[in-house]
């Protein structure tokens, strides 16, 4: 298993299928939340897809978005997920660390923004993120805007 950071153009069709399958499995099926999964942000030329594969399966995934793609003037992280079969192995911690490193590499000296599910607030706080809003509903799930300040 090896972590990869790829643009959309660098994704082969099997990897693209596997990462979309993981995202649908986690965000649509597990969370029983029908929402528009394909939002065109994956296609942005500066979007960085961070993933870990085991065989042909993507078992951990997140995307790092360029400033302005999801958050006004700031880079963002989203679609952070780990396969149900690979949870409790610390992969979520490593995944967030890698996405932060990718964001800092591409957009140094900038805050990083996320829209986190409220139940994950403490998880993201462990990585330095701070709450920046009151809870709000996104796709009928309570979320919180969080910011990792530039340091």
**pTM of this prediction?**
0.94
Residue identified by tokens 């065109």 is 40
Domain boundaries of the chain, sorted by first residue: 2-148
Alpha helices in the chain, H assignment, sequence order: 13-23, 91-106, 121-125
What's the whole-number average pLDDT of the chain? 95
Q: What stretch of H or E contains 87?
A: none
**pLDDT for 113 beyond 90:** yes
Check residue 108 and report its DSSP letter. Answer: T
Of 32 and 61, more confident: 61
Regarding the domain with residue range 2-148, which homologous superfamily does it belong to in the CATH classification?
Gcn5-related N-acetyltransferase (GNAT) (3.40.630.30)
């Amino acid at each position: 298993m090896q972590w990869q950071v790829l643009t959309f153009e660098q994704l082969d069709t099997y990897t693209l299928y596997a990462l979309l399958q993981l995202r649908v499995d986690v965000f649509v099926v597990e969370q029983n939340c029908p929402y528009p999964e394909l939002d065109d942000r994956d296609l942005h030329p500066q979007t960085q897809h961070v993933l870990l594969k085991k065989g042909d399966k993507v078992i951990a995934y997140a995307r790092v978005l360029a400033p302005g793609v999801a958050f006004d003037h700031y880079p963002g992280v989203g679609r952070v997920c780990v396969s149900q079969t690979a949870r409790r192995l610390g992969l979520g911690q490593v995944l967030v660390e890698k996405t932060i490193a990718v964001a800092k590499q591409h957009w140094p000296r900038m805050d990083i923004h996320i829209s986190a599910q409220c139940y994950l607030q403490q998880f993201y706080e462990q990585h330095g993120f701070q709450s920046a809003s009151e809870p709000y509903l996104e796709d009928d799930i309570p979320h919180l805007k969080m910011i990792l300040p530039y340091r």
